[in-house]
Chains A and B, each alone.
Chain A
Amino acid sequence: MNNNWSWETFMDALPFVLQGLWITVSLTITCYLFALLFGFVWTFLRRIPNRFFNWIVTWVMEFIRSTPPLVQLFFLFYAWPMIPGIGVTLSPFTSAVLGLGIHFSTYIGEIYRSGIDSIDKGQWEASKALNFSTVDKWRRIILPQAIPPTVPMLGNYFIIMFKEVPLASTIGVAGIMLMANSYGAQNWSYLEPLTIVGIIFLVLSYPSAVLIRKLEIKLNTRFDKNAAIK
């Protein structure tokens, strides 16, 4: 085992690890978009006015949130194909998108719900009085007001999720984590490649955080610039 830090190894490992960067980034973005969309599914399912159905949806969400994402990934990738009848073999990437995407969609669904719940009852009544269709009411009146205030929370989940993406290496998604691991295994030196992984995550999450903050400011000033002087 090589015990000392070596710049030579570092420079050697860097291009190798970076080969996984595209996979890591695209997996993060795909998972996140999936979670953003699927979050709406939970939100709307929970709005169906049937107590029994609601109870089921709430418990399914609770179940997904209280089991570790790693277990869900393993289940989707290794166990699901073995279920007779409904079992389907998924690629590592697809498993990761479904696993992490669904896991985080339950949190994102709750964020949407908090945004929607914060809309004044008068907005719903005005939409009705102006005779909007259900679709237009959501699309033009409710969601444009409900979503912008949740952007900081949604953004935080983007960063949290980004940091969970290395879990996908355990089922063979060749992102930077898996590349670093295999470099370590081949060359018997883990220090440099894993340091590189750490640096890449820092370099990517910090600007994301800044970007989210900027977006938040922009969205909030868009229609409420003078709310404070009311």
Chain B
Amino acid sequence: MTDPIVRFQDVHKSFGDVNVLKGINLDIKPAEKVAIIGPSGSGKTTIIRMLMTLEEPSSGDIIVDGKNLWKMEKNGHMVKANEKHLREVRGDIGMVFQHFNLFPHMTILENCMTAPIHVKKESKEEVRDRSIQMLERVGLGEKLDNYPSQLSGGQKQRVAMARALVMRPKIMLFDEVTSALDPELVGEVLEVIRDLAKHEDMAMVLVTHEMDFALDIADKVLFLDEGVIAEQGTASEVIEHSENERLQGFLRRFRG
């Protein structure tokens, strides 16, 4: 049994008086593809935002590759992690956002190159080759010198994926990456994710409303409901054999 690359231990999160997550326990193995489904407001996005260090858990531990993400040891005590510690641990994690968040003042090639060069201090030539390769892989080899404002939503999202991949993360997070797209552009983005899921050995966590797609590519499906993981297992376990009524209701609404 391999050690998990990500482990959530009794993680709670509240925003003000609202308890969004009420005790999340979760293991993600290296290379595992995990889909998180569930109704809006169930806290799906919060889970991966905490993993990306964009949101701090109210309590509990998140362990990434053996290291506690939000806490560090100081004089024999566990204290709140400082920025240095966070930077060390989150280097293994990449994220693709719902609204792309490309850097508008850079070409798409520069978007991909900037972090490996300035954050990981890699050589410019090497990063350049790798970025071009990655952009070709997502089908944007012709657009290297374009600015994000010149691309369609689907193209922007593919650049965002290339940008995250060039950093070679061990864990990739996808936060409703097709939700902001016009319906006809969803397919091209899902194709890229499918390709990654098949050929890359990094762990992937997808928060998504593309139910059939998620069930198709995921090794493990989590159904999040009212702040807890109400159901988890392989796609067929969750869908065909679950007796959770809320899950059945949720799936029915999606599949019509």
Chain A residues packing against B (C-beta within 8 Å):
120, 122-123, 125-126, 128-134, 136, 140-141, 144-145, 222-227, 230
B52 touches A140 (CB 8 A): no
- Beyond the given A126-B97, A140-B114, A223-B147, please list 10 additional residue pairs across the A-B interface where CB-CB is below 8 A: A122-B101, A126-B101, A128-B54, A129-B54, A129-B97, A130-B94, A131-B87, A131-B115, A131-B119, A132-B115
A131 touches B91 (CB 8 A): yes
A224 touches B104 (CB 8 A): yes
Nearest B residue to A144 via CB reads B105
Which 10 residue pairs spanning A and B have beta carbons closest together?
A122-B101, A126-B101, A130-B115, A129-B95, A223-B105, A227-B149, A226-B150, A226-B149, A131-B119, A144-B105
B54 touches A125 (CB 8 A): yes
Place the interface of chain B in its size category.
20 to 34
Chain B residues packing against A (C-beta within 8 Å):
52-54, 83, 87, 90-91, 93-95, 97, 99-106, 114-115, 118-119, 147, 149-150, 163-164, 167
With contacts A125-B54, A126-B103, A226-B150 taken as known, whether A132 is within 8 angstroms of B118 at the C-beta atoms is: yes
B87 touches A133 (CB 8 A): yes
Of A125, A134, A226, most B-chain CB atoms within 10 Å = A125
How far, in whole Å, are A214 and B216 apart by their CA atoms in the complex?
55
Of A131, A132, A144, A145, most B-chain CB atoms within 10 Å = A131
Nearest Cβ in chain B — how far from A116, in angstroms?
14
A224 touches B101 (CB 8 A): no
A134 touches B149 (CB 8 A): no
Interface class of chain A by DSSP = helix
Sample of 12 A–B contacts (CB below 8 Å): A125-B97, A128-B53, A129-B54, A129-B95, A130-B94, A130-B164, A132-B115, A140-B114, A144-B105, A223-B106, A223-B147, A223-B149
Provide the residues of chain A in CB contact with B90, threshold 8 Å: 128-129, 131
Nearest A residue to B84 via CB reads A133
How far, in whole Å, are A224 and B94 apart by their CA atoms in the complex?
27
A130 touches B83 (CB 8 A): no
With contacts A122-B101, A126-B101, A223-B105 taken as known, whether A136 is within 8 angstroms of B118 at the C-beta atoms is: yes
B54 touches A130 (CB 8 A): no
How far, in whole Å, are A125 and B100 apart by their CA atoms in the complex?
11
Provide the residues of chain A in CB contact with B100, threshold 8 Å: 122
With contacts A126-B97, A130-B163, A133-B87 taken as known, whether A223 is within 8 angstroms of B104 at the C-beta atoms is: yes
Provide the residues of chain B in CB contact with A129, threshold 8 Å: 52, 54, 90, 93-95, 97, 164
B105 touches A133 (CB 8 A): no
Nearest Cβ in chain A — how far from B164, in angstroms?
7
Nearest Cβ in chain B — how far from A209, in angstroms?
26
How far, in whole Å, are A34 and B149 apart by their CA atoms in the complex?
35
Nearest Cβ in chain A — how far from B108, in angstroms?
12
